[in-house]
Structure 1
């Protein structure tokens, strides 16, 4: 009888890659939590993600609406819809993340990154990069996008964490009460914001979502609400963990760190390899809509598939020397932002934020290193990043 494999076991959350390698070797099989079917090989992951008819994104909703949570608007978002509903909603909101919108945001993001760098370097001794930089940049950018008041920004990460940690499925009764109250307060915040923008439109994302499309159609209140709920964890967690994972990876590799600090043109290549080697997004869920077979394994109708993106990104059959971190790796199509119709809408924004953040930071650093404190990782099935990242920073000498 095969041993039970638990994706949420503490030792797996601390380092999931040995288990991912085992799953790639053994093939598709059931795992905990919940007896989900784990898909870990690159080709199988691609097959699932490009086939919404057999592997429905409605499967995500089951993980985000446990029995103790009466309502969660994210379950009605485009992330959890299949074509043609997904196609209509995605087409309607995608222009808010196009090149023109990002070009308008770039100077504001750069200014935020430079301000955060300045504040970071004022700290004496070791600093928590997560708390002082990685968290603040994407939260502030999302706050700008939403049109929120700055005093509301700090709660965004708390709300994002509560959403992204739901599929882990291990909340104490006290935690269940807190999460219910947290998500109810998030919905009140967004409802007030939508109403304010109905009465007084601005140049923010919510105002854009309220405007009629070229054919006169409009998004409903529920469609806007569900999209904002979905965008929050995607917009916060992805970039927070991409920044933190990049610094964590470089802190263990002095030669690569020296190269990038000396040549900031390497930052885009660096980020692509971090997205492959230590991605912020580790898995997604799908619902099997009909009895089917995948790589010789029978999957019953109604089964939940956990698509292990991070496992596929270490598949030696697709990435030579997959367990090595290589900045100069030839860029190959990877899955860090998903695949197919559900490819992440905010991928360009996440890359932009991370690039501008690292450019600002590395322009002011001579070197950095991790302290001896062990890393503790977020207790999430969906996303992976450190809860804290203590660093010792060595500022670059001032230019003469």
Structure 2
């Protein structure tokens, strides 16, 4: 029997029937590329998230620093790639600066940006939503949060694309490898200069807040601070722009929900929750087993690379009634789209706020959103799944 290839075009286009078959027949098994193990059932995924002593986030370091890179990736020092107790120390320090009040203070800026981008979209009528709306909306929010030079928006988007392509670059693609190495150099140098400038003059931004949190032996090191800022930038941009894109794709394919949300705006948070379940921005995350263990009745060897297929777990029939039906009014919800336990995403509130603000603007001012492509091309990578482009046409209310 041939192993499933997660990067095969038909799997990328619609992985959910393949996931369903795995849940039925081989819920924990090896797949391609590379014979990695996958975990497909909701309860098993949650168990692996909880068992940080065996399922180590060091597995992600092998994704951020593939052998061909031949250099340290500063993102490898971030909290998402740390295990307890270091993870707890990093999260506590970052959490003191990344508060609900901080996110709340960004909402006005998010709304102004969403309104302007909607104006531009309605003026043009035909746009490519990812490049013309999703990425600019989130990049500008993150620039405001962190204290970045907003004129470098295109550069930040390129950085994010390059970082999330690490798992899918061929070791033989020397030109692409050189591009990614250059990107990592740029990212690191930019953040070092930004931190140095804030040490000389504090401002009202996240970098300054994190520097103010420095206290005693528990303070963030310079490498940890830079890793934290880069993580918030690239992970925050990739996952939230993906959420916005999937949200608009859902409205294009289910136009009745434009009218429904306009008439009942109180349903908007539930609509977002269902998009997060149905097409989660965090599609999979990697772990490395530190010892031989059993999961889902299967023995996993030590040092096994394991992909927790969150996108499969959120379609698990044992957890959700009719999981392949998009239903914002369903009762069963889950926090799994943002991870679980110690690794629950620290930026979840910001992502939800951005999604709500954007959706409120779109349903108020757009009568319809129509897809201008018969077939979409999808990203190739383990962590996220998103169209490469989303050409749409919008009609004003």
State the SS of the aligned residue for 1:38: strand
Q: CA deviation at 1:265?
A: 2.3
Matched position secondary structure for 2:306: strand
- Equivalent residue for 2:310? 309
Corresponding residue for residue 324 of structure 1: 325
> Is 1:67 paired with 2:67?
yes
Aligned to 1:111: 112
Shift of residue 112 of structure 1?
1.2
Structure 2 vs 1, CA of residues 194 and 214 (structure 1 numbering), >3 Å: closer, same or farther? closer
Does the 8 A contact of 2:89 with 2:218 survive in 1?
A: no
1:363 alignment partner, SS class: helix
Residues paired across the two proteins, number:
394
Q: Is the 8 A contact 2:121 2:394 kept in 1?
A: no
4+ residue stretches of structure 1 with deviation over 3 A? 212-217
1:214 CA displacement: 5.8
Residue aligning to 2:157: 157
1:1-400 equivalent positions in 2, closer than 5 A: 2-25=1-24, 26-69=26-69, 70-124=71-125, 126-170=126-170, 172-213=173-214, 217-396=218-397
Mapped to 2, the partners of 1:360 and 1:255 lie a distance apart of 17
Query: RMSD in angstroms over aligned alpha carbons?
Result: 1.5
Task: With the length of structure 1 as denominator, give the TM-score of the two structures.
Answer: 0.95
Aligned mates of 2:84, 2:195 — CA distance in 1: 26
> Residue 326 of structure 1: CA displacement?
0.2
What displacement does 1:216 show? 7.6
1:169-205 deviation line (CA, Å, top 9, x unaligned): 5352211111111111111111111111111110111
Q: Secondary structure at the match of 1:231?
A: helix
Query: Deviation digits for residues 98-128 of structure 1, max 9, x if unmatched?
Result: 221112111111111111111211114x211
- CA distance in 1 between counterparts of 2:263 and 2:133 reads 21
Structure 1: 5+ residue runs without aligned partners?
A: none
Distance of 1:99 and 1:77 partners within structure 2 = 21
Whole-angstrom CA distance in 1 between matches of 2:377 and 2:296: 35
| Contact 2:40–2:312 (Cα < 8 Å) also in 1 | yes
Distance in 1, Cα, partners of 2:262 & 2:376? 23
More displaced stretch, 14-23 vs 334-343: 14-23
Compare the two structures and name the one with the higher helix fraction.
2
Q: Distance in 1 between matches of 2:203 and 2:63?
A: 35
Offset of residue 215 of structure 1: 5.7
Structure 1 residues 338 and 196 mapped into 2: Cα distance closer, same or farther (>3 Å)? same
Query: Aligned-pair distance for 1:293?
Result: 1.0
Equivalents in 2 of 1:120, 1:66: separation in Å? 39
TM-score (normalised: structure 2) = 0.96
Q: Aligned equivalents of 1:246 and 1:220: distance in 2?
A: 38
The whole-number CA distance in structure 2 between the counterparts of 1:217 and 1:299 is 35
Distance 2:362 2:393 in 1: 13
**Deviation by residue 1:299-343 (Cα, 9 ceiling, x = unmatched):** 111111100000000001000010000011114224100001000
The unaligned stretches of length 5 or more in structure 2 are none
